[in-house]
Structure formats: C-alpha cells, structure tokens
Chain A
Amino acid sequence: QVQLVESGGGVVRPGGSLRLSCAASGFTFSSSGLHWVRQAPGKGLEWVALIRFDGINKFYADSVKGRFAISRDISKNTLYLQMDSLRTEDTALYYCAKSSGWLIGHWGQGILVTVSS
C-alpha cells in the first residue's frame, strides 16, 4: 500500500534553511504528482507546493514562493522541500501527500518544523 514517510524536521532560527524529505513506496513514484501541505499548531491545513507527475511543472502557495523549492529524486523515490529564509510563521507540521491528478489522496504522518530564535 501507499507509504509516505517524512524526515528532516527540527528547530531552526529565523532566516535559516532546512530540507525536508519524504520517502515513498507502494506506488509508481515516477508517474505520480506529490504535494506538501502544512498545519501550524492548533490551526487548519495550508497547501504549500505541488510537483506534477512530469517532474517539471511545479506550483507554490504565495506565502512560500521564492523561498521554498519542491523537487524529487526518482532514483530514490524521494520527494524534497528545500526551505530557505525561514520565518516564525513557517512553524508547522509538514505533510507530504500523493496526488491523483491534482487531488490529494494519501498523506504521510507529518514532520514538525519549528522556526524560533
């Protein structure tokens, strides 16, 4: 079955960088789109980014555009989120999720990112 396991979270100072990873299994990674979605503590869901099945077309929320970059490594079945110029408001649980078309289907369990001085 579909499995998505996030890693790479932690505590980082404002202005710092972090790279999240999401190890995928149970489906054809090279032909699937993948999302990052985040949830600030006690808050609702916020979509962050999407990489389409072709690996070329990428889309971002305005709140992260120019600071975050989504990518994937087909040889490792791994999705990434490079996060630069981090702000306190980026503190959240970050989920990776498998896409069917643009629909978010399966979710990982999430990884916590805390931006604090």
Chain B
Amino acid sequence: EIVLTQSPGTLSLSPGERATLSCRASQSVGNNYLAWFQQKPGQAPRLLIYDASSRATGIPDRFSGSGSGTDFTLTISRLEPEDFAVYYCHQYVTSPLTFGGGTKVEIK
C-alpha cells in the first residue's frame, strides 16, 4: 500500500499570501498518478489537480501542482477567501487507492 503523508497539518495564512502544501509517498507513484482535492465544510471533495500537474476543468490558474516520484506539491499562488479549506492528495496508480491525511488551510 502506498502511504501518503501530507505536511503541514495546518497552514495559517492571510488572503493574498502563497500556500505551499506537501505530499510525500512511501514509494514511487508511477506515471505521476497523483491528484489533489479541495474540501470545504459540508461539501463533497472537488478535484483540483490530476496527473500531478494538470488542472481539472474550471480550476483557476492560481492552483498549480508539481513533483514526481515520491514528492509532490500543491501551490496556491495568491489565496482568495474561498480557498480556505482542507486539501487532500490521492494516488490512483494502484489498489488500494489511498489519500493523504489532509492539510487544513486556515485564515490567520
């Protein structure tokens, strides 16, 4: 099983600041089949990034993904008020599919 470890657990930032979220895999994620989801309270998760760096349909370009192998990063270039949420990384290269524990981005 590929274990995904996200850091930090919580990120306290102000609107307009840059957010950098990390996801480390216990083994290489083949084909960079790594996705990022955003979840707001009371809502289902929303796909932001797939294949490590491709933005999903309708996702603003302030969201970007990078990385390969075992180390991946989600960057939000300038935080908007609606970006404060929990973010999960997810590998879909092999079963069992797994998620990271999440990073909460909160308003400072």
Contacts and interface: CB of A to CB of B under 8 A. Distances in A.
The answer to whether A and B interact is yes
Interface in B20-53: 33, 35, 37, 39, 44-47, 50
A96 B46 CA distance: 13
B98 interface: yes
Interface residues of B, number: 23
B95 interface: yes
Interface stretch (B11-19, B67-75, B76-84, B86-94): B86-94
Interface string A60-75: 1110000000000000
A45 B88 CA distance: 8
Contacts of A61: 96
Q: Is the interface of A mostly helix, strand, loop or mixed?
A: strand
From DSSP, what is the main secondary structure of chain B's interface residues?
A: loop
* Residue from A35, A45, A61 whose CB has the most chain B CB atoms within 10 Å: A45
B45 A107 contact: yes
A47 B97 contact: yes
A93 to B, nearest CB: 9
A50 interface: yes
A103 interface: yes
Contacts of B45: 45, 95, 107
Contacts of B65: none
A41 interface: no
Contacts of B33: 102-103
What are the nearest 5 A-B pairs in CB distance?
Answer: A107-B44, A59-B95, A47-B97, A102-B92, A45-B99
13 contacts: A44-B102, A45-B99, A47-B90, A47-B97, A47-B98, A95-B45, A102-B33, A103-B35, A104-B35, A105-B47, A106-B47, A108-B44, A109-B44
Given A45-B88, A46-B99, A107-B45, 16 more contacts: A35-B97, A44-B88, A44-B99, A44-B102, A45-B37, A45-B45, A45-B90, A47-B98, A47-B99, A59-B95, A104-B47, A104-B92, A105-B47, A105-B56, A106-B47, A109-B44
